[in-house]
Structure 1
Amino acid sequence: MRDEYRGLSRFNRPVYWLLTRGLWWLLGFGSLYVLCGFLIGWTTSYEVMVGITSPAQTRLRALSWMLSLTGWLATPAAVGGIVGYLVNRQVDRRRRESESAVLARMLREAGFEAPPTGGGSS
């Protein structure tokens, strides 16, 4: 089992993160949602999570506030991070020039000369 866990590094970065770190976040969020579903009702839990119902209008306000904050802050942040990384990967795959070549071309087009490469004294 230890070798299997260490072997997860063969996956690319998003898959590796989802299997090692993201799984714990998903488990925590899912547990909170299931707990709220049993205690305050499934419909109410969903409505609190997406912001239809205020957490102050439920029976268990503290738990509802945690679910509401998770639904409004943590979930969009995680989804945004994952989507941003995947979009960045796609852009990098389609990039034809290296970053140094693009920078050199931009400096040349702007009229700047390359800095001197020698270390002579003036």
Structure 2
Amino acid sequence: MLTRGAVVLALAAGLYLLNGFLIGWANAYDVVTGITSPSAVHAQWCAWPLSLAGWAAIPAIIGAAAGYIITEQIQAHHARELGDVLEELRRLAEPPSSPPSSGSGA
């Protein structure tokens, strides 16, 4: 994710920048999101790769990022040993200790 994903993200960003300068930023956004067909813009040669990136690469990048974050969270919760967790549960299940007695007797 961190190595190949960065390359794919950089290529997608480069395509978006190229199209933004050539066909306009609004048209580039419309092509990448699928609102406008790449055949409807002036520079079709660069709009088609942008459209494909918007259709395939960008959802893959978002899915990979979500999967990475979820995996990191799961691994963070599995970092504790089972024995430690059981010991903590036993400690929490014990009845509370009696309060200390007052020494005055009055």
TM-score (norm 1): 0.57
Write the mapping of 1:4-19 to structure 2, written as runs, cut at 5 A.
Answer: 17=2
Alpha-carbon separation, structure 1, partners of 2:9 and 2:71: 23
Letter matched to residue 79 of structure 1? I
Name the counterpart of 2:19. Answer: 36
Alpha-carbon separation, structure 2, partners of 1:89 and 1:37: 35
Name the counterpart of 1:76. Answer: 59
Gaps of 5+ in 2: 83-106
1:24 correspondence with 2:7: yes
Letter matched to residue 43 of structure 1? A
User: Are the aligned partners of 2:9 and 2:61 in contact in 1 as well (CA < 8 Å)?
Assistant: no
Alpha-carbon separation, structure 2, partners of 1:78 and 1:35: 20
Larger Rg: 2
Residue 65 of structure 1, CA deviation: 1.1
Identity of aligned pairs, percent? 43
Out of 41, 45, 49, the position equivalent to 1:58 is 41
Gaps of 5+ in 1: 1-13, 99-122
Residue 21 of structure 1, CA deviation: 4.2
TM-score (norm 2): 0.64
Residue 24 of structure 1, CA deviation: 3.1
1:93 correspondence with 2:91: no
* RMSD (CA atoms): 2.1
Structure with more relative contact order (C-alpha pairs < 8 Å, separation 6 or more):
2
Higher helix share: 1
Residue 92 of structure 1, CA deviation: 2.3
